[in-house]
Structure 1
Amino acid sequence: MNLHRTTLRLAAVYNVLWGTWVVLFPNHFFELVGMAALNHPMVWQGMGMVIGVYGLGYWWASYDAMRHWPIVAVGFLGKIFGPLGFVFNYLQDIVPFEFSYTLITNDFIWWIPFFMILKQVHTKQRWRLTDTQKN
């Protein structure tokens, strides 16, 4: 199994598990880090659902990362913009520092592997879409 396939499958499994955890136990993360529970846990559960769906996309992309690079690119952008959103809100004192713990496993550890996949796509095919993706 190649490195890209392994990376995307690990990301898929992680995202599905994390999403399931957040949907089924929306207050658990907040209890773990000592934050107050949300007034509207369904918002957090919605985030869990989105993260879980990303996991399905990563699994499908794992079959051919060069062909399904747009899924990887969307995931990579989310892993960049999520931490930027945290910093923006943290600096405005909207969200406590403890919330940053989610960034470690949800975002930071995936930066290099996802970047390497996208770098290879750029090097090998210059962001070309396959014929089936053009339609």
Structure 2
Amino acid sequence: MKLILKLAAIYNILWGLWVGLFPNQFFELVGMPLPVHTMIWQGMGMVIGVYGLGYWWASYAPMRHWPIVAVGFLGKIFGPLGFFIQYYRGEIPFEFFYTLITNDFLWWIPFGYILWKTHKDYHWKLTDKYAD
């Protein structure tokens, strides 16, 4: 669990930096028109990068910090859901699907495992007997 969260942290931070520093590169790679409002895409990169910090901190005690994992997991569920709704409406090109593979789908099983293990062994505790 600790390794998975550290890998997710590194991935998210790097992805966030990539999108923030080179906001047009993804669109160029997949052959999409460049965004009109680049700062929205960069803002998404910032949010994903900040998730990376949360994953890094959660990696020190994954079951104790399960709410961070749960928020990340929900984002990995709702992000693709939002994509499919927007794609069905014709409001977003299919090429955005490529971001879902590494940002979301790849993490469903490991994050799901952490949350299942938290439920099974830790019973969703929000406090710890050693906490202040």
Which TM-score band applies after superposition, normalised by the shorter structure? over 0.9
Deviation string, structure 1 residues 65-118 (Cα, Å, up to 9, x no partner)? 010000000000000000000000000000111110000000000000000000
The root-mean-square deviation of aligned C-alpha atoms, in Å, is 1.3
* 1:66-85 map, 5 Å: 66-85=63-82
* Counterpart position of 1:18: 15
Amino acid at match of 1:128: K
| Cα distance in 1, alignment partners of residues 55 and 126 from structure 2 | 17
| Cα distance in 1, alignment partners of residues 118 and 17 from structure 2 | 31
* Counterpart position of 1:129: 126
Identity percentage of aligned residues? 69
Q: What SS does structure 1 have at the residue aligned with 2:126?
A: coil
| Cα distance in 1, alignment partners of residues 118 and 55 from structure 2 | 16
| Cα distance in 1, alignment partners of residues 56 and 122 from structure 2 | 21
Identify unmatched segments of 5+ residues in structure 2. none
Shift of 1:131: 4.2
| Cα distance in 1, alignment partners of residues 74 and 87 from structure 2 | 20
Q: Confirm whether residue 37 of structure 1 aligns to residue 34 of structure 2.
A: yes
Report the TM-score when normalising by structure 2: 0.96
Q: Confirm whether residue 54 of structure 1 aligns to residue 51 of structure 2.
A: yes
Whether the aligned pair in 1 keeps the contact of 2:58 and 2:65 (CA below 8 Å) is yes
Q: Confirm whether residue 108 of structure 1 aligns to residue 119 of structure 2.
A: no
Identify unmatched segments of 5+ residues in structure 1. none
Report the TM-score when normalising by structure 1: 0.94
